[in-house]
Structure 1
Amino acid sequence: MGTTEADAVQDIRFARSADGVGIAYAVHGSGPPLLIDACWLSHLQFDWQSPVWRHFLVELGRVATVIRYDERGHGLSDRGVTDHSLQARVADLEAVADDAGFDRFALMAMAQGGPVAIEYAVRHPARLTRLIFYASHAGVPQGASQDQLELDEAFQSLIKVGWARPTSEFRRVFTSMMIPDGTEEQMKWIDDLQVMAVDAETAALARSQRQLTDSSDRLPELDLPTLVVHSRGDRMVDFARARHLASNIAGARLVALDSENHIVLADEPAWPVFLREVTDFLAPDRVSGGVESTAEDVTDVLSPRELDILRLAAEGLDNDAIAGELVLSVRTVERHLQNAYAKLGLQGRTARTAAVARLLSHT
């Protein structure tokens, strides 16, 4: 049974990046792991009840164990960060992926997360089962026109002058580009998210450093199933950049959504199309990852460490005792158990009992 909106919960955790920056990430849902590469604006707690994002979180949580994180300097991650380079952001993704504990996972790049996901996929091909780009791109091509340079300068000025103002007239410019078809409630939420997620100085600094990033030359190196999903009328990231991704990644499939919104909203026809395409694309992971497996293949589904922990749980040891036996932290034991439950398609209070029963029926 899938997660319902009423019982959906998220587990917020923290990973430490290579330079010591703390990166907040959250895990929810059940099924094969899907790690979402951070987009420009996020706040793990504020997003959870969002009239703009909530349907993404609920519905994706029904088909996958969703891992998402706040970019450095944003949301619940460490603030006051000055290094927003590609290398630093890739290190953040590496830290979250390692801390979450999944051996392999699907990766979804959203918006500005594209270059980071591309670089990660090139460096760690064995970790990924498949790759999704949603409203994303490979980076900012160098040699921009004078018009583009002037537009970028105008955006930077809007951030510096209007981001922190108590009224939202300046922030509404960005909001209107993200969800031009949004209701006033939805637009106001994006207005508020901007100041909730990041301060003006960091927003401007991070954007200026992202403008220097282009991973287009890495695209031919990607060799895994890839889905590119993009709104035809996206005003934040032009549809041409989705075509660029799909045409330069071998075997990639491009799905054009009939929408003007950068963030597809729950009540527009494009939303069920997006959900169906992503669900179908993840289906092979759902089978091979063990969500639909039986008791006979538990030992093939779980990692050796997860099996060790589950065997001790079957002996009646609690998490503290398991941690002592294996010389691990209690948090690490809990994380491995949660990952095991996700792989087995289990959730809720009975997950531990069901996992142990499945293991015992096999041995």
Structure 2
Amino acid sequence: MGDADFRFGQYVLDVDRRRLDHGGHRVDIEPQALELLCHLVEHRGRVVTEEELRDRIGHEHAVTETALATWMSMARIAIGDSEVRQQLIRSVPPHGYRFVGHTTPAATRPTDRTGGPTLPAVTAEMGADHEVIRFCRSADGTRIAYALAGQGPPLVKTANWLTHLHLDRTNPMWAHWFEGLTHGRQLVRYDERGCGLSSWEMGRFTIDDLVADLHAVVEAAGLDRFPLLGVSQGGAVAVAYAARHPERVSHLILTSAYARGQQIRAGSDDERDAAEVDLNIARAGWRSQDSSFLRYFASQFLADATPAQWDAFAAYQRETTSAANGLRFIEEFSRIDVSGIADQVSCPTLIVHSRDDARVPVAQALELATLIPDSRLILLEGRNHLLTADDAAWPAFLTHLRTFLSE
């Protein structure tokens, strides 16, 4: 045993081998987050500045504040801590952190109890709200973060633009979704590859990969049959999954969804020109982070919001992923197409769409309703692509959702 083995609670951290164990099982954690944790534990007698952590993690490469915050969240979750609890890693204003957990020398180097491969998931309680965040691996090895919250029969929500399991709980953009969807049910949600607490190393990024990510979450959560909710581009993933796994999906709910991305559904020169202009504006915004471009982009998601809300939405997006990943999301989602397999969906399907959706035209909802055999379409008054808490359509959406699921 070396001097670099530390035990705190049920955790053992081997700094030399860069390994974290919980109860004898290896914890799967992003390398940068593990590096951060090791540095904090090694220097537990003092406050470590953000600048020092960025230098340690970056190894002469620039590390943004957003990336550091994400890896700090990952490190906390891996050891059962959170930004609210701060029982082990404490934020020290204005720009520092300190490991405050009691450590003792580990008696032996950690080994897996089973003697087999290390477990691909770790559970972390997120304070008094009783949400559990776990990690699993998709078919190609990509690490996917997923969360379980609430009690009752399951409701699985596919990932969509853009999410962060830890931030969404309190973000005004998504907090009401969490509250509404956990009413009488256990909500299963996850971060897409490339954003949030999932791996930011995206690798491949096709509809097959996105369906595989969803399947990995479903398998890890131990679900056999469940209703599936797809929002925005998450609707296309939900359609593809329901078509390929009819035995698993009992009900399909699609809101603000589409079968074909903007580049694919453009049928005339004018539509193709408009799609290219829209894509170029989004590209310019993500590359330059210019507020005027980002406001335009945000206004398509939240047509009835204020400029301040658009700015808040843009800031939130910057927290969920890197600029390079954001750009890749935009380009790939514009080319998504599940129109050829939508007619293979065999479960009852509810399609809900804002009549004047500024991001995805209502014609896409009509197309889905035409393609999916056992479907019904509900049009809500409004222009918002993502329903807000004060949107008049929000309670109507929840009512339709709960009525549909009770059938």
TM-score after normalising by structure 2: 0.65
The correspondence of residues 324-343 of structure 1 with structure 2, limited to 5 A, is none
Query: Structure 2 CA distance, aligned partners of 1:196 and 1:147?
Result: 34
List runs of 5+ in structure 1 lacking aligned partners: 1-5, 285-363
Report the residue type matching 1:221 in the other structure.
Q
User: 1:229 and 2:352 equivalent?
Assistant: yes
Query: Structure 1 CA distance, aligned partners of 2:149 and 2:176?
Result: 13
User: 1:239 and 2:342 equivalent?
Assistant: no
CA 1:207–1:167: 2 relative to 1, 3 Å: closer
5, 25, 29: which is aligned to 2:150? 29
User: 1:15 and 2:144 equivalent?
Assistant: no
Task: Show the counterpart of 2:406.
Answer: 283
What is the Cα deviation at residue 181 of structure 1? 1.3
The correspondence of residues 20-99 of structure 1 with structure 2, limited to 5 A, is 20-99=141-220
Query: Structure 1 CA distance, aligned partners of 2:396 and 2:304?
Result: 17
List runs of 5+ in structure 2 lacking aligned partners: 1-126
Query: Structure 1 CA distance, aligned partners of 2:275 and 2:161?
Result: 16
Query: Structure 1 CA distance, aligned partners of 2:384 and 2:299?
Result: 9
What is the Cα deviation at residue 171 of structure 1? 1.0
Q: Would you say the 8 A contact 1:52–1:186 is kept in 2? A: no
What is the Cα deviation at residue 91 of structure 1? 0.7
Q: Would you say the 8 A contact 1:8–1:29 is kept in 2? A: no
Q: Would you say the 8 A contact 1:34–1:66 is kept in 2? A: yes
CA 1:184–1:27: 2 relative to 1, 3 Å: farther
Query: Structure 2 CA distance, aligned partners of 1:80 and 1:151?
Result: 31
Report the residue type matching 1:226 in the other structure.
T
What secondary structure does 2:233 align onto? Answer: helix
Report the residue type matching 1:110 in the other structure.
V
Query: Which of the pair is proportionally richer in strand?
Result: 2
Which protein has greater RCO, CA pairs closer than 8 Å, 6+ apart?
1
Query: Structure 1 CA distance, aligned partners of 2:167 and 2:313?
Result: 11
Task: Show the counterpart of 1:129.
Answer: 250
Report the residue type matching 1:148 in the other structure.
E
What is the Cα deviation at residue 147 of structure 1? 2.8
What is the Cα deviation at residue 61 of structure 1? 0.7
Query: Structure 1 CA distance, aligned partners of 2:172 and 2:219?
Result: 31
Task: Show the counterpart of 1:115.
Answer: 236
Query: Which of the pair is proportionally richer in helix?
Result: 1
Query: Structure 1 CA distance, aligned partners of 2:289 and 2:251?
Result: 43
**RMSD, aligned α-carbons:** 2.0
What is the Cα deviation at residue 203 of structure 1? 1.9
Report the residue type matching 1:19 in the other structure.
D
Task: Show the counterpart of 1:181.
Answer: 304
Report how many residues are paired: 279
User: 1:257 and 2:380 equivalent?
Assistant: yes
Report the residue type matching 1:75 in the other structure.
G
CA 1:166–1:137: 2 relative to 1, 3 Å: closer
Query: Structure 1 CA distance, aligned partners of 2:260 and 2:159?
Result: 14
Query: Structure 2 CA distance, aligned partners of 1:197 and 1:156?
Result: 20
Query: Structure 2 CA distance, aligned partners of 1:143 and 1:170?
Result: 22
Q: Would you say the 8 A contact 2:252–2:349 is kept in 1? A: yes
Task: Show the counterpart of 1:345.
Answer: none
CA 1:272–1:7: 2 relative to 1, 3 Å: farther
Q: Would you say the 8 A contact 1:227–1:253 is kept in 2? A: yes
